[in-house]
Amino acid sequence: MKVLVASAMYPSEERPAFGTFVRTQVESLRGIGVDAEPFVLTGRSRKLMYLQAVPQLRRRLRRNGVDVVHAHYSYVGLVARTQFSVPVVLTFHGDDLLGTVGPDGRTTGVSRLIVAAGKLLARHVDAVIVQNELMAERLHHHPRVHVIPHEVDLELFKPTDRDVARHELGLDPDRPYVLFASPPQIAVKRFPLAEAAVALLRERDPSVELLVVFREAQDRLALYMSACDALVFPSFQEGSPNIVKQAMACNLPIVATDVGDVAQVVAGTDGCCVVEPEPQAFADRLEEIVRRGARTAGRERVRHLDSPVVATRVLSVYEQVVEQARAPRTRLRRAEA
């Protein structure tokens, strides 16, 4: 099967962490025999980028047989749906269906319009993939909606000896480190809450340090997850956050807010918890984790999200839409006969 994977986010030398989840899925699809080809939207102006992508996509589809266009995010889905010759699968990742949260914790007006457009678009594509049940509810659990969370690459994200990881990263072998692995400038990630929590923790243990890591390649991120004592994840809102699943795969303790599917992912894992979005609640749990100094058994909890397993589920969606697209043509040929 030939699949064109369309995305405006894809890693490059300049931005190695940009859209790694799309590349991971492309690679995992290839690993199970799918001919997956990235179609990356690029350009200095985002508005022009989407407009320019329409004729570029049509030219690409004319070259040779593509069975499915898989678009990531609603804007790219609009580009993909400007043609009807090839079935379109659309993946919503979070804020494109739930809205973008501003610094005040409220959904912005512009993002509400984007969400409305995304919901309308969802009615006109061949299948939709979402990250969690809340997102499926926003689309009224339509039969074309499939809940398939992002995969985690268990070959890449795996436990490494803490001292080895710290030596490679140049970190103090004795200092407790709390990891914040999201861009701090993005309001929805709620970095000020992480800062406030660690500030409270430092009143009890001044040696604790907050590490902010968000532009590293995936192999380096995996090292940080083995080197640190805990992941702090205080987001306002998420779909199925990769960072949490990657931390689980590295057996890193986690303190997070109850967003997206985080509670389901960490449930039953000693050393991982969801708490109220308050600095004191985060600080208390982080103190317990640092004092214990133990790793978790989180890796076993995310084995069902290993890349080949999730890729097989995505392939099943492709097969369904291809079969549905062929069915009307088959009926038409029979009628003409």
328 pLDDT band (50/70/90 cuts)?
Answer: low
- Kindly report the three-state secondary structure assignment for every residue of 312-323: HHHHHHHHHHHH
- In 10 A of CB 102, how many CB atoms? 15
In this model, does residue 204 exceed pLDDT 70? yes
Task: Give the model's pLDDT for residue 52.
Answer: 93
CB 5 within 8 A of CB 36: yes
User: Using CA atoms, how far apart are residues 166 and 207, in angstroms rounded to an integer?
Assistant: 16
Handedness of CA 182, 187, 191, 194 (dihedral sign): negative
DSSP state of 210: E
Quickly tell me which residue has 């987001």 as its tokens.
235
What average pLDDT does the segment 233-247 reach?
A: 95
Task: Give the model's pLDDT for residue 117.
Answer: 94
What average pLDDT does the segment 297-312 reach?
A: 96
Helix 307-336, helix 20-31: angle, nearest 10: 70
Task: Give the model's pLDDT for residue 40.
Answer: 96
H or E element, residue 5: strand 2-7
In this model, does residue 33 exceed pLDDT 80? yes
CB 151 within 8 A of CB 25: yes
- Per-residue pLDDT tens for 139-148? 988 889 999 9
List beta partners, residue 272: 254
User: Using CA atoms, how far apart are residues 183 and 213, in angstroms rounded to an integer?
Assistant: 8
- Per-residue pLDDT tens for 178-188? 999 999 999 99
Tokens of 111: 């993002």
User: Using CA atoms, how far apart are residues 139 and 165, in angstroms rounded to an integer?
Assistant: 43
In this model, does residue 30 exceed pLDDT 70? yes
Quickly tell me which residue has 């980028």 as its tokens.
49
SS3 231: strand
- Per-residue pLDDT tens for 149-163? 999 999 999 999 999
Task: Give the model's pLDDT for residue 178.
Answer: 99
What average pLDDT does the structure give for the chain? Answer: 93
In this model, does residue 333 exceed pLDDT 80? no
Alpha helices in 186-305 (DSSP H): 191-204, 218-227, 242-249, 262-266, 279-292, 298-301
Higher pLDDT, 20 or 44: 20
Task: Give the model's pLDDT for residue 103.
Answer: 78
Q: Does domain 2-151+306-336 sit in CATH 3.40.50.2000? A: yes
What would be the CATH architecture of the domain defined by 162-301?
3-Layer(aba) Sandwich (3.40)
- Per-residue pLDDT tens for 56-72? 999 999 987 899 999 99
H or E element, residue 209: strand 209-212
User: Using CA atoms, how far apart are residues 259 and 252, in angstroms rounded to an integer?
Assistant: 19
Task: Give the model's pLDDT for residue 329.
Answer: 56
Q: Kindly report which listed range (100-104, 209-213, 245-249, 266-270) carries the lowest average pLDDT score.
A: 100-104
**Where, residue-wise, is CATH 3.40.50.2000 in the chain?**
2-151+306-336, 162-301
330 pLDDT band (50/70/90 cuts)?
Answer: low
- E strands of 24-148, at which residues? 35-40, 68-72, 88-91, 127-130, 145-147
Task: Give the model's pLDDT for residue 46.
Answer: 77
Cα 263 to Cα 68, 205, 222, distances in angstroms? 33, 28, 22
Residue type, 133: E
Closest CA to 88 of 66, 72, 71, 65: 71
